[in-house]
A and B are shown apart, each in its own frame.
Chain A
Amino acid sequence: MENLEIARELERISGVNPRKCMKCGKCSGTCPAYDKMEYHPHQFVSMVETGRIEKLLESESLFTCLSCFACVERCPRGVEPANIIEAVRLMKIRPQNENHLHAEQIPELLDENLPQQAIVSAFRKYKK
């Protein structure tokens, strides 16, 4: 299923033009979470370009990205794959009841050393 309208919306949210990608794969060569991802950074770019969004929206890969920006740093075409992934993630969690992380889950995840930062940032990334 191709949905170009959503794709363009994602381009707007991310500020990324996926057509700048020259399919070199450096982002995926760089990605530290690659092995845990179903769709890899270059696929995110290419699937948004061609409007194959639905699979992405359903994929756990959205929450596997470590936001380390290595792909952004090393992309020779200035494409910023991490921004694309974030945009898809936002699109996923923005509708009601689509939060990936719920406050109720927190107590069991806590340990005594866990810094606030870990919880705050997880909420920022996975919940709206």
Chain B
Amino acid sequence: MVYSYYPGCTLKTKAKDLDKGARRAAEALGIVMEELPEWQCCGGVYPMGKDEIATKLSSVRALVAAKEKKQDLLTLCSACHHVLKRVNNDMATNEDIRNKANAYMELEEPYAGETRVIHYLEMLRDVVGFDKLKEAVTNPLTGRKIGAYYGCLLLRPSKTLQFDNPENPTIIEDFIRAIGAEPVVYAYRNECCGGYVTLENKDLARSKVANIVESAKEGGAECLITACPLCMYNLSNNNAAGDLPVYYFTELLCEALGLDKEGN
């Protein structure tokens, strides 16, 4: 299976290792990730305004590029996933946005949301299959108690994202089981960590992080995993106690597959 891959800003710079690891892990599982040749930053935030067209165009370009390659568009970062998927939904269902974006892009063939956007986790669940992943694991993380942190962007709004049950998701827990560890289910795993205000309003971010970390620790989690670099930063840097390591889910995936952090 070959995917068009949209890495996004953070995974291309600050978190290069995560990107590399994810690719190597995918390879090990028989998945090829072909990075789009000329992707642009999605902006990190879905522009909700119905009259916001220009801010949606970078996403549309990525979607069109995948369409031209007749491939699904794979994302690794929750924020990119959220933005691309919602813009794609606009292109499919909102005539006004579609017309304006197409008029601006001057494409030969207008784009109407044909590309399927898929997150790396969905790929593991629906394409590889968690049972197959389990078979591929050479270094099961037996005995590790891991809390899944979903955050907001993967799940909500569920009508558009259609990722998992927005209030009681299971995909990361199933992933944790597949790599041989024990998931810790805690109530705040889908509560916002305040990532977007981490720059400006540290207090608010810290209080949100504290809630989550406390709830996870209470359940016995030894570490958290997440699928969003911003959440990952926020959860580790704004955790006053500083006592709960946070990993990107692919880091543990590499470990379980017997690869080092950079996937070698």
Contact = CB atoms under 8 A, between A and B. Distances in A.
A105 B51 CA distance: 28
Interface string B154-167: 01111000000011
A114 to B, nearest CB: 7
Contact of A117 (B10, B47, B155): B10
Interface in A1-60: 12-15, 32-33, 36
A118 interface: yes
Interface stretch (B19-27, B98-106, B196-204, B217-225): B196-204
Contact of A125 (B45, B155, B158, B166): B45
Interface string A49-79: 0000000000000011011111011000000
Interface in B52-95: 52, 55, 77, 79
B233 A12 contact: no
Interface residues of A, number: 38
Contact of B191 (A32, A116, A120): A32
A95 B45 CA distance: 20
Q: Is the interface of A mostly helix, strand, loop or mixed?
A: helix
B9 interface: yes
A13 B167 CA distance: 28
A86 B45 CA distance: 11
Contact of B201 (A14, A64, A70, A73): A64
B48 A14 contact: yes
Contacts of A120: 9, 41, 43-45
A15 B155 CA distance: 21
B50 A114 contact: no
